[in-house]
Structure 1
Amino acid sequence: MTTTEPRGPVLIFDGDCAFCSSSAEFLQRHVAPGITVVPWQFSDLAPAERDRAQREVLLLHPDGRRVWGGADAIAALLLHSPLWAPAGWALRRAPGRAAGAAVYRWVARHRHRMPGGTPACRIGAPM
């Protein structure tokens, strides 16, 4: 991931997307200050995880044995904060899990229209 081993979880996001970059910064600053945030473009992910990171945010457990993606990554991250833990807990259980996944997919599809989003944020945008 980085030149030094992270002590906490690592959030992998799309560094080419302004909305994703702003969201990752918000999460690092206000939800889980101990996390490391790394754009997938500057990560050393394995090919399968790299492909996955192009479609959804990833949260890597510090020991590297667990990877959460999409809404599950957000839920796991929220559990690291006493203030946000109840929201993370709700996103881990039905019906919150299904609702969270649906909202995450909708936001991911429309991230180029979100505040700070640009046409470059569109998933599958031509290079």
Structure 2
Amino acid sequence: MRTRPVLIYDGDCAFCTSSVTFAERHIRPRCEVTPWQFADLNSLGTTRERAEHELLWITPAGVTHGGAQAVAKLLLNAGRRWAVLGALLSLPPLRWIAHGVYRLVANNRERMPGGTPACALPADGRPRTQASSPPTAH
């Protein structure tokens, strides 16, 4: 049984790696940090598809929080002033706003500072637009 939470991120994404490095240096959460590419996702109770889609925070009990709520849990875990921000991000309406901002950043992470084309979500992980939808038969 794990005794510490696990933070799972996309190790192939320069933006994600830079963000996690910042968190480790400045926020200092008390958790294990690992890229999904090197994690035993099955034993952590999650899937590759979910790990490709969003940052994951997995509690020692096996509860998984994704996206903005993974960030909120990371901040809560760090304590000090970060815990206040984590608590705020857990409450509506800030929770909803945080989710929207997280999705906007995640869906465009290859365009973020430090991002590279390798940061782009797989095509099946991106929201569909009219331009990317397959043609329909008439």
TM-score by length of 1: 0.86
**CA deviation after TM superposition for structure 1 residue 33, in Å:** 4.0
Equivalence for 1:24: 20
- Structure 1 ranges of 4+ moved more than 4 A: none
- Are the equivalent residues in 1 in contact too, given 2:55–2:66 (CA < 8 A)? yes
> 1:28 is paired with a residue of what secondary structure?
helix
Counting helix residues as a fraction of each chain, which structure ranks higher? 2
Equivalence for 2:89: 91
- Are the equivalent residues in 2 in contact too, given 1:32–1:77 (CA < 8 A)? no
Equivalence for 1:60: 58
In structure 1, how many angstroms separate the alpha carbons of the residues matched to 2:14 and 2:70? 19
The aligned runs of 1:4-15 (5 Å cut-off) are 7-15=3-11
Equivalence for 1:41: 37
Identity of aligned residues (%): 50
Aligned length: 120
Q: Identify which of 69, 73, 76 aligns with 2:70.
A: 73
> 1:12 is paired with a residue of what secondary structure?
strand
CA RMSD of aligned residues (A): 1.7
TM-score by length of 2: 0.80
Task: Note the residue ranges of structure 1 that are not aligned, 5 or more in a row.
Answer: none
Task: Note the residue ranges of structure 2 that are not aligned, 5 or more in a row.
Answer: 124-138
